[in-house]
Structure 1
Amino acid sequence: MSTRHVRPRPGRPALVLAALGLVALGLAGSATAAVADEEEGVDLSVVIDDLTPPGQLTLTVAPNDGVVLAEDGSDEDARQFTGTLPTVTVSDTRTPDEIPDGAFWAVVGQAGDFTGGEHTIGADHLGWRPELLTPSPTGNVAEGEPVSSVIPDGSGAPAVGLVGQELLVSTFSAEDETGSWDVTAELALRTPVDVEPGEYHSVLTLSLFDQ
């Protein structure tokens, strides 16, 4: 038998190469879609602590319904009405690093005039005697000096009353002692003997200054 040689027609090799190229592309696509036979997971965790807020210097007054002054200690020079200031608390939760060098704080009090209808008793007729209730380990925290009504009470305290800002409690060095301190004051309103009878009202304002 004779061997027959077939000649490829013009252009056929190009078709064969194109087909081979398509096959190669198909194999490559199948390889990228392969899935791993085994998988392992790693647990992740994190602990997020609460933010620590910066310390603060604060002033609070114990809950109260106001102070009713009652007559006590009147004499021939004046009628006297006394009462006790609700406990005032100063708290300093700052760290030494948060307190500037040489810083100090003070609480002062100032009263308004007592008014009753058409009649008025000046704030200078009200005095007080501060008392620190919390011991100060360093001695840097102390109560203010007593202040008498303009009608002297015989104690020798300055007879100026609470018409201006008078010291209740203070510290000379805030960075040397932090914590919480309670303070109060005995109040005394001394009026002229012939004061007009009636119901009088005033407001005692306490202010905290941080320097």
Structure 2
Amino acid sequence: MKQIKRLTALCIVLALALTMSIGAFADGSPSAYGLFMGARARMGNGRMVNVTLSEVTDDNAKVKLEDSDFLKEVIGNEYVEGMVLADLKGLTLPEDVEFPVTLELDVNGVKAGSKIALLYFDGTEWKKATIESIADGLVAVTFESNPTMIALIMDETEMAAANIGTTSPKTGMSPIVMMAAFGAVVCITGAVTLTKKKEHN
């Protein structure tokens, strides 16, 4: 009798633990980070130099760039309603680079005629870079000073049309958790049945 009660208690604890863990499988809604695929820099004399793109860990920068009022302020009259932060990267140029410098960016999902803006952080403030041209998957942009971070601002509708927009949250249980939960229910049912049979006997 004691063993059956212990088994029942164990099954109940297991079921509760699984229920509490379900929330861990719900993801947030990430933005479309990952659009910057590569870059090259061309100085005024035509010399090409290497560019290093890196992930940005500064959450303050992300929060600021996700503020539509801030984007309107920096982008000015070129701002289009619905523009959002599409990608953010750290950028490192060689020490001997001469400004202004033109960056050729490989950008996934961007097409000729896309409504985009390119912002850069020069170590002090965010500024709007001058976009020279936009082609399929390629953006040429000029910087007047050394950028430490670059941000792609893109129309949200175009992002969705290009299938590179934000993703919906993944909610619910994974197959493994569902199987384990089903096993726990079966276990509890069996334990209760055995308990009742024991009591009748």
TM-score under structure 1 length normalisation: 0.28
Point out the structure with max Rg over C-alpha.
Answer: 1
TM-score under structure 2 length normalisation: 0.29
Q: Higher helix proportion, which one?
A: 2
Comparing both chains, which one has the higher relative contact order based on Cα–Cα distances under 8 Å and sequence gaps of 6 or more? 2
